[in-house]
Structure 1
Amino acid sequence: MQIGMVGLGKMGGNMAERLRRGGHEVVGYDRNPEVSDVPSLKDLVDSLAAPRTVWVMVPAGPPTHATIEQLGELLSEGDLVIDGGNSHYVDDQKHGAQLAEKGIGFVDVGVSGGVWGLENGYALMAGGSEGDIRRLWPVFETLKPEGDGFVHAGDVGAGHFAKMVHNGIEYGMMQAFAEGWELLEAADVVKDVPGTFASWRHGTVIRSWLLDLFVRALNEDPDLSDLQGYAQDSGEGRWTVQAAVEHAVPLPVITSALYARFASRQPDSPAMKVVAALRNQFGGHAVASKEGAHAKGADSPGADVAPPREVS
């Protein structure tokens, strides 16, 4: 099958290579001329035979909006666009409606597999019509792992909604491993923390590819001293929590994991400054100042403020 691939970064480039290995003809376009097969998006469209199929793998948000808008002007009725980035499912519904007005099909695909997908295959979660999914099946079959790994999740938007929830679960799993590692490191009783995690890879209910990757990281850096405790979020964790609020579904684990990432970016927590100040005011507890730890005595400012009377 012939397909155009827009965006040849770590994911898009590897996906294009896996498709080529599977016998498909791929024409790739990227803003980086060193990896691009054609000089422009128009040249990519012109190089494809109708009905055309174009897979978009660019960052979510404005880059994806701009690319799909351009494709809407360049493509023709009967052509098909796939968004395989990490777009918000709400944007998919807008893009699908926008392209449908011109007779252009749209499918959203949540893609998981990262840098390992080239060799192992990509888990694919697709949203779109039955006809468009059938048309794309040769591509999906090549990209996915052997056996399972593909779902037609529903109509347009369903693929990225499923991927959003997948990533939210991933946040919670990573946070659980992180907290367990910190506790093992803090306790003197366990002498071999990397070995403990490695022992869990077989025969336990928490064995997983994520655990395998963590053991790999510990083999490279046993105490993680080469890393800074700072974690970004891709946006999908936030969207998962927002969707939970909209649907009144409690997500305490995923929400806590997202907030833990926010906390990791604060070298000095503003909220904890308030907590420290209040503990000092009502209990005279020691606080750590810029100059060092100290405790304010009974004559400290605020110490003579009487507690409020209870009002019934």
Structure 2
Amino acid sequence: MELGMIGLGRMGGAMSQRLLQAGHQVSGYARSTDTMKQLEEKGLVAASSVEDLVSKLKPQRIIWLMIPSGKPVDETIGILMPLLEADDVIIDGGNSDYKDTLRRAETLRARQIHYVDVGTSGGVWGLENGYSMMVGGDDGVVSHLEPLFETLAPGPNKGWGHVGPCGAGHFTKMIHNGIEYGIMQAYGEGFAIMHHKEEFKLDLHQVAEIWRYGSVIQSWLLDLTAAALEKNPGLEGIAPYVADSGEGRWTVAEAIDLNVAAPVITLSLLQRLQSRDSDSFSDKLLSALRNQFGGHAMKKE
């Protein structure tokens, strides 16, 4: 199957390689010429611009976007719309807000251009292990694209699925990432408790390796925890600052809108926000209040 890929970063580039290895014809465009040169050596047909990419594809064109969510997706779709024809397909494989996906799908539907949202998980390991994909879109279009999903997935019939109409793919991936926040936070807290139990002198990498096999908390995230602790047991040189790319926030907002209690995901998001406040005014005020009502000592900077 022939397709065009816009966005050849670590994940988009790895996905392109997996498709090329399976015999699909992939044309690609990215701002980084170095990236495109590396992928050209693996069989990618490099394009010099979005317009050039579209010109290299035959109808029914399939354009797969692997670019940051928000404005970049809208801008790219704005460039693509006048270049595409009825029955062409745009796939958004990034972490877009499902509400944006619904809006974009409606705009493209008016031009008879199909829009498919693919919540994609797997990161840089997907090239070797395959990607987990949650697909939203019309039945006929998704059925036509099955060869792509079967190639990118861990197996033709596992790790991917058509979960519902357009928007459902990104919605499901949003919840997936919210759950991921909670699991990661639990691992972080548990290993912190063990780290502070100094009299036992625990080897945290050893503990992680033990838990990886036969334990009820074994997971790929635990595998990655073990790998990180093997490389850097004391986590030296790593700032206690945890970023977020939006999906946790959207999950919490959706839980509130739906009157669903989600305390673990919500607290894990708040912990990430707290990690960025190196000069916490609220913590200073708490210390001052304790001093005011109880005469408790305050630690000075």
- Structure 2 length-normalised TM: 0.94
Amino-acid identity (%)? 49
1:176: how far off?
0.3
Paired residues in the alignment total 290
Between Structure 1 and Structure 2, the one with more helix by share is 2
Deviations 1:145-178 (A, max 9, x none): 0241012111111001100000001000000000
Cα displacement string for residues 162-211 of structure 1 (whole angstroms, at most 9, x for unaligned residues): 00000001000000000001100111343222212221111110011110
For residues 80 and 151 of structure 1, the distance between their equivalents in structure 2, rounded to whole angstroms, comes to 18
TM superposition shift of 1:122: 0.4
Mapped to 2, the partners of 1:232 and 1:8 lie a distance apart of 22
Which amino acid is the alignment partner of residue 286 of structure 1? A
Report if the CA contact (8 A) 2:102-2:166 is conserved: yes
1:115-143 deviation line (CA, Å, top 9, x unaligned): 10001100000100100110100000000
2:205 to 184, 194, 198: 194
Q: Deviations over 1:2-43 (max 9, x none)?
A: 000000000111111100101100000112233341111111
Aligned to 2:82: 73
Matched, 1:143 2:152: yes
- Residue type at the aligned position of 1:15: M
Unpaired runs of 5+ residues, structure 1, are 291-312
| Counterparts of 2:208 and 2:55, CA distance in 1 | 53
Task: For 2:129 and 2:182, locate their aligned partners in 1 and report how far apart those are by CA, in whole Å.
Answer: 24
The aligned counterpart of 2:39 is: none
Map 1:34-53 onto structure 2 (within 5 A). Answer: 34-36=34-36, 37-53=46-62
Question: What is the letter of the counterpart of residue 21 of structure 1?
Answer: Q
**Farther off after superposition, 184-193 or 258-267:** 184-193
In 1, Cα distance between equivalents of 2:181 and 2:194: 20
Tell me, yes or no, if structure 1 residue 175 matches structure 2 residue 179.
no
Structure 2 Cα separation of the partners of residues 66 and 215 of structure 1: 40
User: If the length of structure 1 is used for normalisation, what is the TM-score?
Assistant: 0.91
Query: CA-to-partner distance for each residue in 1:233-288, whole Å, 9 max, x for gaps?
Result: 01101111111111111110001111101111111211111111110000000112
2:125 matches 1:116: yes
Q: Where in structure 1 do 4 or more consecutive aligned residues deviate above 3 Å? A: none
Q: Which residue identity is paired with 2:274?
A: A
Larger Rg: 1
Counterpart CA distance in 2 for 1:122 and 1:189 is 42
Partner amino acid, structure 1, of 2:171: F
Q: Which moved more, 1:187-196 or 1:259-268?
A: 187-196
1:1-312 to 2 correspondence within 5 Å? 1-36=1-36, 37-146=46-155, 147-191=157-201, 192-290=203-301
Report the Cα distance in structure 2 between the residues aligned to 1:194 and 1:144, rounded to whole angstroms. Answer: 30
Contact 2:178 2:248 in 1 (8 A): yes
Structure 2 runs not aligned, ≥5 long? 37-45
Higher mean displacement: 132-141 or 196-205: 196-205
* One-letter code aligned to 1:23: G
- For 1:285, what is the secondary structure of its paired residue? coil
Instruction: Give the CA deviation at 1:95.
Output: 0.8
